[in-house]
């Protein structure tokens, strides 16, 4: 029974629960950010500078069987080795855009969070009484 009690204490610790909540919120936030990037930002960027899809940039490293289309998907299905550097470029560009969008979001969140100055601590009653006594003795 000791191990189960130990596990229960571990599982309900604040840090473990906070971590679980963070992972769940992070997964939901990732979906939101992915949607913002793929549904809102990339179409705008694509309209301004052209399509940002480099996925069909590749170098064929083997022989292509007759009748196989020269697309990346067709070559991969045919088992032809390809150096698909375009996928990497697309992922890298998407990451850069995503990182910039997250930076802007965090910057805005930090701007919205206003830190209120902490109220000065109220001194204990005995300190207040001693100060009153001191001040009354000064006036004599």
Could you report the per-residue pLDDT of 58-114, keeping only the tens digit for each?
A: 888 888 888 888 888 888 888 889 898 888 887 887 788 778 877 888 888 888 887
Which pTM does this prediction carry? 0.50
CA-closest candidate to residue 62, choices 76, 83, 84, 81: 81
Same domain, 79 and 130: yes
On the question of pLDDT at 33 being above 80, the answer is no
How many CB atoms sit inside 10 A of residue 75's CB? 21
Please enumerate in sequence order all residues whose Cβ is within 8 A of that of 16, keeping only pairs 6 or more positions apart, or say none: 10
Same domain, 73 and 30: no
Distance of alpha carbon 138 from alpha carbon 140, whole angstroms: 6
CB-based contact 60:44 (threshold 8 Å): no
User: What domain count does the chain have?
Assistant: 2
Same domain, 74 and 125: yes
Same domain, 13 and 63: no
Same domain, 41 and 74: no
CA-closest candidate to residue 87, choices 56, 61, 59: 56
> Range of 11's domain?
1-51
Same domain, 25 and 70: no
């Amino acid at each position: 029974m000791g191990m189960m009690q130990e596990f229960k204490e571990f599982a309900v610790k604040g840090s473990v629960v906070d971590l679980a909540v963070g992972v769940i919120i992070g997964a939901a936030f990732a979906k939101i950010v992915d949607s913002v990037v793929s549904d809102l930002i990339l179409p705008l960027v694509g309209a301004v500078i052209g399509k940002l899809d480099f996925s069909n940039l590749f170098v064929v490293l083997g022989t292509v069987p007759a009748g196989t289309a020269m697309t990346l998907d067709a070559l991969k299905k045919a088992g032809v080795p390809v150096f698909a550097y375009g996928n990497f470029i697309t992922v890298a560009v998407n990451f850069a855009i995503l990182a910039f969008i997250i930076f802007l979001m965090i910057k805005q969140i930090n701007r919205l969070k206003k830190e209120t100055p902490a109220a000065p601590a109220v001194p204990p009653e005995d300190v207040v009484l001693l100060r009153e006594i001191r001040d009354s003795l000064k006036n004599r």
